[in-house]
Chains A and B, each alone.
Chain A
Amino acid sequence: MKQSVLDAPVRKNLIFVLPGLLLYSAFVLGPILAAIYLSFTEWNGIARPDFIGFSNYLSLLTDSNFVTALKNNALLMVFYCLLPLFIGMAFASIVRSLKGREQMAIRTLLFMPYIMPSAVLGIVWHWLYNPAFGPINQILKSVGLGAIALPWLGDFNFALPSVGMVATWYYCGFCMVIFLTGLQRLDPSIFEAARADGAGAAYTFRRITLPLLLPEIRIVLLLTIIASIKSFDLIFTMTRGGPANSTLVPNIYMYQLGFQLNRYGYAAAVAIVGAILIFTVNYIVHRFVRPADGGSR
């Protein structure tokens, strides 16, 4: 790590770090360590936890529900991360060319879903998808597409994509705003130079825009991947993991195990595995999505 001119002896530096770290240790790190301990126990939430070693983790390996949850989560990442990434980037490059007020209006509106409580959005979308009196199927039926007016959230094959589309809708505007900021950060003269050299739009995008946007891509990927593995509110309010576990994700499974079935130790193990997963995926992003200049923190 490079030495900064602002650096000073450690004793003086600690003043900056300690307040935050103490609070963090007290209310996040401590409980997390306790949860790790719990994951090695069997605990019903009332009596003393019984230490059972790695049993919970071994059971997870053969737990078909957990495997289903992992698969579902992998699929959800397409909707949480990839689609918003591409759509957001496309939107950003279109919106960039728009003038002040219009740009601001579109940006404000597209970003809107992101500020809403996802629990409320889940309730709203649950109703939009409703086969009996939801608007989506009403529109489909009125334009003669009654055949594809499916029971979206109740259909084994479509429940997960239906939930996923809501996540895409939720994160598109967010990604666009991040990319827009990124594009505005870039020096316009680079593009002028490329244009002067006769580079086509596609070439410019692939060779100049994309590499220069890597810091933003990294941020977007990090945030959406974390969000996808943390996803709870949307699924909880829309399907609760159903039908027949077709939208079950580790977090919902953990909630069911802990708060519905009172298997807190086993639930903690699910949480820990989920956390390890997030960590791994993020490490991969950190490792392989680097800014073009090769610099890292």
Chain B
Amino acid sequence: MAAIAPDAIKRQSFRLVMWLFTLLTIVPFALLLLTSLKSKQDLFRGAFALPAYPHFENYVSAWVDGHFGTYFWNSIIVVVPVVTCSIVLGLLTGFAFAFLSFPFKRSIFVILTIGMMVPTEAFIIPLYYEMRYLGLLNSYAAMILPQIAMSLPFATLFMAATMQQLPKDVMEAALLDGASRGLILRRVIVPLLKPAISSLGLFLFIWTWNEFLIPLILVNDDAFRTMPLGMLFFQGRYTVNTPVLTAGAVLVIAPIIVVYLIFQRKFIEGLTAGASK
């Protein structure tokens, strides 16, 4: 019983350290927000000095000159199909890798892994010429199709790995009930994999939202630019105006934070649900 007191102290100090690190992690974002509300003159008074009043006009000039409305919708139009299609295809191929036999399974597995590792920069030039040949340059398809293909290896491996951990008797029981494999995938496996699917969705969302090389090269019309490109565009334009630049950065990351916080609930629910089994 005497051991409890030092244990509690240790636990509390660990907890304190943990919160300290957590705060350290988010301080940059707080500073970003603070700076975005300053005037250019405020900057020279120190990074932590508060501005006399919040300069919301930084956001106005970021929003008005930056065409962020267009960029925002473009990002949505690209991200939604990429994430959905990648998950569906990942489920199908993942299912195949986990349970089915087909020729060259091992080689195909290796080839998929290669695709996960080769950086986009390495094949962007051939990809550009391919898109041009298909007449898809300057279209949403130019951003969507390659990004689904690029997400596929990870989606497949991730889905296959989680499916292998599923209890086998559940599927056997379903099979004995006469269910087809498509039905088992849809009705048995997908519900069991919900937590994994939502984490996969989160990863894919982040990666697709943040991708900038694909839209930079394959799309050269301002009307198709996505959010991170907007930021890039901003950086070129406002390097000498830190407050407006930071306001632009806030505009780019605010939607991600919002989506993340909404998604996060499902994400954590999924994780805890998986853990309680």
How far is B144's CA from A102's CA once the two chains are assembled, in angstroms? 38
Q: Does B73 contact A (CB under 8 A)?
A: no
- Give the docked Cα–Cα distance between A123 and B43 (Å): 16
Given contacts A106-B22, A282-B117, contact A16 B100 (CB under 8 A): yes
Nearest 8 Cβ contacts at the A-B interface = A271-B122, A184-B275, A34-B126, A135-B47, A27-B149, A31-B123, A117-B210, A4-B99
Contact B268 A104 (CB under 8 A): yes
The residues of B that contact A115 with a CB separation of less than 8 Å are 202, 206, 256-257, 260
Q: Does A255 contact B (CB under 8 A)?
A: yes
Q: A106-B19, A185-B275 are in contact. Are A271 and B119 (CB under 8 A)?
A: yes
Contact (A128, B26) CB under 8 Å given A6-B181, A20-B89, A20-B156: no
Is residue A239 within 8 Å, beta carbon to beta carbon, of the partner chain? no
Nearest A residue to B110 via CB reads: A279
The answer to whether B252 touches A16, judged by C-beta atoms less than 8 angstroms apart, is no
- Having A28-B123, A117-B209, A138-B46, one finds 10 other A-B pairs with CB under 8 Å, namely A5-B172, A6-B181, A20-B152, A23-B149, A34-B126, A91-B21, A108-B261, A181-B274, A254-B121, A275-B118
Say if the beta carbon of A191 comes within 8 Å of chain B: no
A133 near B206 with CB under 8 A, answer no
User: Is the beta-carbon distance between A127 and B242 smaller than 8 angstroms?
Assistant: yes
Shortest Cβ distance from residue A20 to the other chain B in the assembled complex, whole angstroms: 4
Contact yes or no, B228 A117, CB < 8 A: yes
B181 touches A274 (CB 8 A): no
Q: Report if A21-B48 is in contact (Cβ < 8 Å); known contacts: A117-B210, A123-B245, A275-B117.
A: no
Majority SS at the chain A contact face: helix
Contact A28 B115 (CB under 8 A): yes
**Interface residues contributed by chain B, number (CB under 8 Å):** 95
B190 at the A interface (CB under 8 A): no
Residues of chain A lying within 8 A (CB to CB) of residue B209: 117
A74 — which chain B residues lie within 8 A by C-beta? none
- List residues of chain B with CB within 8 A of the CB of A94: 14-15, 17-18
Q: List 10 A-B contacts (CB under 8 A).
A: A20-B90, A27-B127, A98-B18, A110-B25, A117-B209, A135-B31, A184-B275, A237-B235, A271-B122, A275-B118
A27 near B150 with CB under 8 A, answer yes
In the assembled complex, how far is the CB of residue B217 from the closest CB belonging to chain A, in whole angstroms? Answer: 9
Determine whether the beta carbon of B118 is less than 8 Å from that of A32: yes
Q: Cβ of B227: which chain A residues have Cβ within 8 Å of it?
A: 117
> Which stretch (A75-83, A145-153, A226-234) binds chain B?
A226-234
The complex places the Cα of A10 from the Cα of B100 at a distance, in Å, of: 8
The CA-CA distance from A28 to B101 in the complex, in Å, is 24
Contacts of B135 in A (CB 8 A): none
What 1/0 mask marks residues of chain B from 75 to 117 whose CB sits below 8 Å from any chain A CB?
0000000000000011011011011111101001101111111
B272 nearest CB neighbor, chain A only: A184
What is the distance, in angstroms, from A12's C-beta to the closest C-beta of chain B? 8
Q: Which residue of B lies closest to A274 (CB)?
A: B119
Q: Does the CB pair B111–A29 fall under 8 Å?
A: yes
Nearest chain A CB to B151's CB is how many angstroms away? 10
| Highest count of chain B CB atoms <10 Å: which of A38, A123, A264 | A123
CB neighbours (8 Å) of A185 from chain B are 274-275
Q: Name the CB-closest residue of B to A87.
A: B21
- Chain B 111-143 interface residues, beta-carbon cutoff 8 Å to A: 111-119, 121-127, 130
Say yes or no for B28: interface residue by CB 8 A criterion: yes
The answer to whether A232 touches B101, judged by C-beta atoms less than 8 angstroms apart, is: no
How far apart are A120's CB and chain B's nearest CB, in angstroms? 5
Judge whether A32 and B122 touch: CB under 8 Å: yes
Q: Give the residue of B31, B127, B202 whose beta carbon is less than 8 angstroms from that of A128.
A: B31
Chain A 244-271 near chain B by CB (<8 Å), digits 1 or 0: 0000000100110010000010001001
Q: For A3, what are the chain B residues with a Cβ–Cβ distance below 8 Å?
A: 101
- Does B231 count as interface, using CB distance less than 8 angstroms? yes
Contact A124 B171 (CB under 8 A): no
Please measure, in the bound complex, the distance between the C-alpha atom of A115 and the C-alpha atom of B130, giving whole angstroms.
31
**Cβ < 8 Å to A, chain B residues 235-271:** 235, 242, 245-246, 249, 252-253, 256-257, 260-261, 264, 268, 271
Contacts of A113 in B (CB 8 A): 25
Of A27, A119, A237, A251, the residue contacting B146 (CB under 8 A) is A27
Contact A13 B102 (CB under 8 A): yes
Which residues on the B side are within 8 Å of A16 (C-beta)? 92-93, 95-96, 100
A114 touches B272 (CB 8 A): no
Most B CB within 10 A of own CB, among A6, A110, A173: A6
Q: B249 contacts A13, CB within 8 Å? A: no
